């Protein structure tokens, strides 16, 4: 069974139906049905597929569609309402549509969805003019300047079975800006082959070898992520299934992929046995399977072989650069690589004490002692010092400077490796060198297009550099690649909207993050700032009381002071919202 995060989520919901469908059916039932089918085939379904939507259900003349991105939902609606209905769909020329779009919390039940998010979208669709689009105010806020469309403020409207007025915005074909909007909607990329790599089972009979089986699984993910023609789910999300008996079809549906790689690893002395199989989710059939029985010194060759067989099975063409990056060996010392896997596992665990930090530093240091040119080990060591700075574990006042010095060594030794570039971005962002953070993220993404953390950190840099709406596409891409980490990315999406002054969507996003991560203090602090700007001062004290129960020592002033905004005015606007909320923070 999918977990709670997959059964409830924030989604953009598009509802569409045919104007006057009953009258058309009464006049010409066969012709209307034929026109409807032709229109779905020629206009609706391609527009939805190209923008990553999921058709939830067909309801006579209506369609309910779920999108992970508001921009994609609105772009799809514009494409539908401005489509040329000639050619195959000529019989659909008499069909006129209404579209409604909302952003809200939905409840997932199998392939169906429910909740206020869906209900409001349906009500908005009914409010739309024939041939028009009606969106909620929260959708309009979240668009920012990313879709140039001539939406007009329709005020607040009370609708059936919704206990609060809904702010609505309207778009109509032929209105000012409508033609321009139709031209600027960018075509989405064709659907790519997609894969999730589940953590390989540790069959060694020794729990201490978990780091090794997990590390090999992650190394395969890392290699696959370097391929631009693939969508590769990040380690955080695929490892959410670790230790669970899973239905491959359910995993594929939750993670939005067409194939799943699973396997097992048995390590004994200096030998390792690996079983791997690539499964097509739709049919459950094996696209490829292999067993390897090798020396540990051959482990990189095995990983390379697994990666290439997956690429072949999915019929993905590799560029010359991708070929070289996959073939590259990070170190000639399998002992150093083993130590790196141990150190990386500490970082991935995300639970830090001084003792854990010191163990991670020691482990990376030992890897470097065995191979001084091991760039990824230097990057791991640099991250340890950055984590020390962020969490104040040792009290070392030079921790951030030390991290910066070591990460320069990592980049010099591995300029063609994505991990050192991302580590540099994650470090320099705290030094407020946001231009450098952008460059390092771009370097990491050029080497590894599926690097979810690099997409996310690129978004963080935009938030703090004063261009917060530019952060949203990067953070949305991170969610696509790492859906199990959605709650963390939602905090930064909320932060972006808050910094941009789009307070309604910021508040909705923070509320969703709090639902998914009930122990968060920082999202509650920023939610209070959004509530203050919105004038919702009755809700703010309740949120503050919750926050203080989670973290009695929380200080909003200290929280805001830690954030690396390049322009103090951006932080000052957030602080002003918190002050208006009237809580003693």
Number of helices (H), then strands (E), belonging to the chain: the values are: 27, 14
* Residue 181: predicted pLDDT: 41
Angle at 488 between CA 510 and CA 536, to 5 degrees: 10
Helix (H, G, I), strand (E, B), or coil: what is residue 279? strand
pLDDT of residue 298: 87
Do strands 201-202 and 259-268 pair parallel, antiparallel, or not at all (unpaired)?
parallel
Nearest to 122, CA basis, from 132, 134, 111: 134
Pairing of strands 54-59, 97-109: unpaired
Residues present in the chain in total = 585
User: Which pair of tokens denotes residue 337?
Assistant: 């690589």
Strands 286-295 and 230-232: unpaired
Please tell me the chain's helix, strand, coil percentages from 3-state DSSP, rounded to the nearest 5.
60, 15, 25
Exposed/middle/buried for residue 91 (C-beta within 10 Å: 0-12, 13-18, 19+):
middle
* 136 class by beta-carbon count within 10 Å (0-12 exposed, 13-18 middle, 19+ buried): buried
At residue 512, the pLDDT reads 83
- Cα–Cα distance, 65 to 101 (Å, whole number): 10
Q: Bridge-partner residues for 474, per DSSP?
A: none
Cβ(72)–Cβ(12) below 8 Å: yes
Q: What is the pLDDT along the chain (585 residues), one digit of tens a residue?
A: 344 444 567 789 999 999 888 888 888 888 888 888 888 888 888 888 777 788 888 887 889 999 888 888 998 999 888 875 444 443 444 688 999 999 887 887 767 788 878 889 999 998 999 999 999 988 888 886 677 677 888 888 887 777 778 889 998 776 544 444 433 333 333 346 899 999 999 998 788 789 899 999 999 999 999 999 999 999 999 999 998 888 898 888 888 899 999 999 999 888 999 999 999 988 889 999 999 999 988 888 999 999 999 999 998 999 999 999 998 899 999 999 999 999 998 888 777 899 999 999 999 999 999 999 999 999 999 999 999 999 889 999 999 999 999 999 999 999 999 999 999 999 999 999 999 999 999 999 999 999 999 999 999 999 999 999 999 989 989 988 998 888 899 999 999 999 999 898 899 889 888 988 899 999 999 999 999 999 999 999 999 999 999 999 999 999 999 999 999 999 999 999 999 999 876
Into which CATH architecture does domain 4-184 fall?
2-Layer Sandwich (3.30)
Q: Parallel, antiparallel, or unpaired: how do β-strands 112-114 and 132-136 relate?
A: unpaired
Q: With respect to CATH, is domain 193-329 assigned 3.40.50.10610?
A: yes
For residue 140, the cross-strand partners are none
Characterize 137-147 residue by residue with b for buried, 16 or more Cβ atoms within 10 angstroms of its Cβ, and e for exposed.
bbbbbbbbebb
Contact at 8 Å (CB) between 6 and 253? no
Fold type of domain 462-585: 1.25.40
Place of tokens 């073939």: 327
Give residue 94's pLDDT: 61
- Cα separation, 530 vs 140, whole angstroms: 17
pLDDT for 117: 81
C-alpha span between 475 and 303 (Å, rounded): 29
Domain boundaries along the sequence of the chain = 4-184, 193-329, 462-585
Query: Is residue 529 within 8 Å of residue 547, measured between CB atoms?
Result: no
Q: Read off the DSSP letter of residue 199.
A: P
DSSP state of 563: S
Half-sphere exposure of 216 (CA within 13 A, CB side): 30
Dist. CA 389–CA 558, nearest whole Å = 15
Query: Which run of H or E residues covers position 109?
Result: strand 97-109
The pTM assigned to this predicted structure is: 0.78
| pLDDT of amino acid 572 | 97
pLDDT at res. 175: 57
The whole-number pLDDT of residue 183 equals: 37
Q: Which helix (H) or strand (E) holds 137?
A: helix 137-143
């Amino acid at each position: 069974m999918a977990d709670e995060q997959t059964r409830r989520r924030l989604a953009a919901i598009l509802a569409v139906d045919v104007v006057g469908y009953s009258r058309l059916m009464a006049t010409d039932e066969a012709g209307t049905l034929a026109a409807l089918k032709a229109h779905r085939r020629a206009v609706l379904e391609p527009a939805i597929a190209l923008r990553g939507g999921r058709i939830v259900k067909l309801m006579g003349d209506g369609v309910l569609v779920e999108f992970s991105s508001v921009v994609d939902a609105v772009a799809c609606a514009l494409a539908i309402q401005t489509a040329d209905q000639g050619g195959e769909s000529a019989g659909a020329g008499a069909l006129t549509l209404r579209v409604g779009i909302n952003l809200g919390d939905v409840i997932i039940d199998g392939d169906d969805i429910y909740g206020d998010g869906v209900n409001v979208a349906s009500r908005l669709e009914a409010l739309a003019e024939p041939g028009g689009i009606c969106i909620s105010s929260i959708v309009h806020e979240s668009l920012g300047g990313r879709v140039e469309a001539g939406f007009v403020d329709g005020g607040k409207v009370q609708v059936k079975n919704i206990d609060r007025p809904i702010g609505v915005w309207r778009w109509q074909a032929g209105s000012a800006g409508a033609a321009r909007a139709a031209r600027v909607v960018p075509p989405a990329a064709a659907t790519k082959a997609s894969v999730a790599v589940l953590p390989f089972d540790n069959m060694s009979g020794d729990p201490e070898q978990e780091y090794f089986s997990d590390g090999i699984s992650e190394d395969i993910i890392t290699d696959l992520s370097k391929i631009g023609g693939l969508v590769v789910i990040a380690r955080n999300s695929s490892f959410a299934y670790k230790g669970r008996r899973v239905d491959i079809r359910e995993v594929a549906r939750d993670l939005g992929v067409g194939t799943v790689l699973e396997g097992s690893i048995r390590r004994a002395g200096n030998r390792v046995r690996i079983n791997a199989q690539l499964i097509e989710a739709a049919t459950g059939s094996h696209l490829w399977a292999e067993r390897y029985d090798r020396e540990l010194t051959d482990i990189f060759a095995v990983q390379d072989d697994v990666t290439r067989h997956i690429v072949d099975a999915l019929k993905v063409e590799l560029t010359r650069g991708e070929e070289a990056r996959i073939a590259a060996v990070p170190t000639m010392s399998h002992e150093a690589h083993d130590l790196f896997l141990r150190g990386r596992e500490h970082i991935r665990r995300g639970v830090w004490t001084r003792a854990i930090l010191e163990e991670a530093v020691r482990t990376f240091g030992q890897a470097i002692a065995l191979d001084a040119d091991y760039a990824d080990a230097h990057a791991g060591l640099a991250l340890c010092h950055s984590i020390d700075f962020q969490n104040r574990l040792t009290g070392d006042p030079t921790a951030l400077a030390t991290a910066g010095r070591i990460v320069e060594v990592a980049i010099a030794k591995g300029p063609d490796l994505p991990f050192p570039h991302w580590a540099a971005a994650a470090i320099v962002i705290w030094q407020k060198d946001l231009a450098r953070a952008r460059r390092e993220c771009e370097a990491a993404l050029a080497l590894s297009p599926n690097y979810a953390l690099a997409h996310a950190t690129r978004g963080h840099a935009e938030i703090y550099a004063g261009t917060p709406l530019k952060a949203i596409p990067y953070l949305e891409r991170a969610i696509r690649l790492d859906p199990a980490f959605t709650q963390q990315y939602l905090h930064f999406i909320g932060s972006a909207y808050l910094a941009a002054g789009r307070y309604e969507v910021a508040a909705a996003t923070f509320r969703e993050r709090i639902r998914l991560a009930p122990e968060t203090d920082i999202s509650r602090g920023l939610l209070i700032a959004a509530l203050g700007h919105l004038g919702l001062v009755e809700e703010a004290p309740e949120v503050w009381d919750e926050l203080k129960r989670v973290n009695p020592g929380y200080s909003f002033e200290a929280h805001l002071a830690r954030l690396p905004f390049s322009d103090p005015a951006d932080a000052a606007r957030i602080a002003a919202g918190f002050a208006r909320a009237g809580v003693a923070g």
